[in-house]
Chains A and B, each alone.
Chain A
Amino acid sequence: MFNALTHTFIYVLDQDEALDFYVGKLGLELKTDADLESFRWVTVAAPGRPDSELVLATPEMGHDEETAREIRALVAKGGGSGVIFSTDDCRGTYEELVAKGIEFTQEPTEHFYGIDCGLRDPFGNPLRFTQPAPQPLSVPSADQSTASNAP
């Protein structure tokens, strides 16, 4: 039986620009950058967590040009995959990345499961950083007043 999630794919429209964003700005670590002639295999991972890799794939990998064009259009209008990273300090991470010019779609917001914020990569893929709340979680029920004031 399988026992771990090792590779998650996300479509990027330019692998060099993706590396500049995911490694240069977000601070992920480059795991693999291999030119395999017909395609370029690029993966990154959270610092110190090499066992779970994010594959920065291009729409052309394994697809005909028409399909790749459709995927590019979908990513650009927000139809790409989402990725959620965990962090020990959501607000600190947010401030640090804002200072680097990263544009966020949602400021750090408190929820019952923690604090999180949202942004997009340069291509339109939605990303989030979540700072988990201490365990055990207190999951709200329907008759509790738990809505945060933030969006």
Chain B
Amino acid sequence: MVRVDPASRRLLRARDTMDRRYAEQLDIPALARAALTSEAHFIRTFKQTFGETPHRYLQRRRLERAMALLRETDRPVTEICLDVGFTSLGTFSRTFSRVLGMSPTAYRAAWRAGAGTAGYVPTCVVMAWTRPRQVREVSSFGEAQGLPQP
């Protein structure tokens, strides 16, 4: 029996940790230690395995949770921002608008104007399948960009 590379399983465990503890101030070095790798190696292999950096994955997870709370509760945007792990309302609003194409408030209003409900679909499925999609070519997450090449 050929066993799979255990490194992928460890990376998946780190990704599960982000899914579970997105609201905390997770740091990449701690996740890298849990995956038994250096920080640089962790970021590189995570991106090779899942197609995006751990930072971006965590951002998408937080946005997905924020979208759900905007849809399903009347809580203020500021509270939702903090509850899903952002520490700055400005960063949250900018990131949300870049990825979703509208502000959190506009998203909530658009949903309530007629998008309806997902009905009887297990919440775990809704969480996974309504997450903002990865953007491979163009960064939409406001990450630091490299200087233009001459």
Contacts of B147 in A (CB 8 A): none
Q: Which residue of A lies closest to B127 (CB)?
A: A151
Q: Looking at the complex, which one of B69, B120, B127 makes contact with A113 (CB distance below 8 Å)?
A: B120
Complex interface residues of chain A between 65 and 104 (CB less than 8 A to chain B): 68-69, 72-73, 75-78, 84, 103
Q: Looking at the complex, which one of A73, A141, A144, A147 makes contact with B4 (CB distance below 8 Å)?
A: A73
Count of A-B contacts judged by CB separation below 8 Å: 89
The secondary-structure label for the interface of chain B is helix
B5 touches A109 (CB 8 A): no
Contacts of A123 in B (CB 8 A): 4, 9
Contacts A105-B20, A123-B9: A142 and B71 contacting too (C-beta < 8 A)?
A: yes
Q: Name the interface size band of chain B.
A: 35 or more
B72 touches A140 (CB 8 A): yes
Residue B105 at the chain A interface, CB threshold 8 Å: no
Taking A76-B5, A140-B72, A142-B71 as given, write out 17 further A-B residue pairs in contact, using a Cβ cutoff of 8 Å, ordered by the A residue number: A13-B3, A73-B5, A73-B8, A77-B8, A78-B15, A78-B16, A103-B13, A118-B124, A123-B9, A124-B9, A128-B122, A137-B120, A139-B117, A145-B72, A147-B69, A151-B65, A151-B127
For this complex, 14 residue pairs linking A to B, each with C-beta atoms less than 8 Å apart, are A13-B3, A77-B8, A77-B12, A78-B15, A106-B124, A113-B120, A130-B122, A137-B120, A139-B119, A141-B116, A142-B116, A142-B117, A147-B71, A148-B123
List residues of B whose CB falls within 8 A of some A CB.
Answer: 1-6, 8-9, 11-13, 15-16, 19-20, 22-23, 49-50, 65, 68-69, 71-74, 111-112, 114-117, 119-120, 122-124, 127
